[in-house]
Amino acid sequence: MNIKKSIVLRARLAFLAVFLFSLAVIIKLVKVQVVDGDKWRKLAQEKVMQYKVVKATRGNIYSDNGSLLATSLPFYKLAIDPAQIDNVVFAKGIDSLSLLLSIYFKDRSAQDYKRKIKDARASGKRYLSLNSTMVNYQAKKVMLTWPILREGRMKGGVIFEKVEKRFRPFSYLAMRTIGFVNEENRGVGLEKSFNTFLAGRD
């Protein structure tokens, strides 16, 4: 009889242990999916690997004595992902960032910039161009010290779109010989004649 009771007791304890373990797993799953759901979804979105075609830098043109006749210089368009910005970072930096944007670009007031960013954030936009003006590399470095933007892509949502512009050190001298190639792949001069080599491969 004692042996039978002992077996039943052990079975009940084992059942109770399995039940408690299962309950703990269910509670954990509910917490992860419901309570911490937004946090983990955002983290997963950040970790998703994305592939992007990188446009080749157009080659340089030199004269027969080695002088540089044409080259490509990097410029950038400033944009942000408003929904990506950390809440604390946004609250602390939006006023200062809006003021700096207004001072630098001189196209709208700090209040207008603030409203533009807040409206885009409230509507869940993932891309917002802050200004169509292209800035050079030095300006980009300065902007990356500004509030919100200095937090980078993950916490600050900053996006710098690289745009290359053709630069000719001798300006209009020999312009016709050097030539150009437009977005439709039409052009004249050396730029057009050697376009296949100069364009490179993306």
Is the Cβ–Cβ distance between 157 and 80 less than 8 Å? yes
Please tell me which residue, 49 or 192, carries the higher pLDDT value.
192
Say which CATH number the domain at 102 has.
3.90.1310
Residues 42 and 69 reside in one and the same domain: no
Residues 192 and 112 reside in one and the same domain: yes
What pLDDT is attached to residue 96? 96
What pLDDT is attached to residue 91? 95
Residues 68 and 142 reside in one and the same domain: yes
Residue 16 belongs to domain spanning: 2-47
Residues 31 and 77 reside in one and the same domain: no
Is the Cβ–Cβ distance between 69 and 169 less than 8 Å? yes
Residues 22 and 67 reside in one and the same domain: no
Is the Cβ–Cβ distance between 163 and 134 less than 8 Å? yes
pLDDT band at residue 151 using 50, 70 and 90 as cut-offs: very high
Percent of the chain with pLDDT over 90: 42
| Residue 200 confidence (pLDDT) above 90 | no
Q: What is the pLDDT of residues 46-103, one digit of tens each?
A: 555 556 677 788 889 898 898 898 998 999 999 999 999 999 999 999 999 999 999 9
Quote the number of domains for the chain. 2
Residues 116 and 138 reside in one and the same domain: yes
Residues 44, 79, 85: CA angle, nearest 5 degrees: 40
| 163: β partners | 75
Structural domain includes residue 56:
no
CB atoms within 10 A of CB 187: 14
Structural domain includes residue 30:
yes
Q: What is the pTM of this model?
A: 0.64
Structural domain includes residue 25:
yes
Is the Cβ–Cβ distance between 150 and 114 less than 8 Å? no
Residues 81 and 138 reside in one and the same domain: yes
Burial class (CB in 10 A: 0-12, 13-18, 19+), 99: middle
Residues 19 and 107 reside in one and the same domain: no
| Residue 12 confidence (pLDDT) above 80 | no
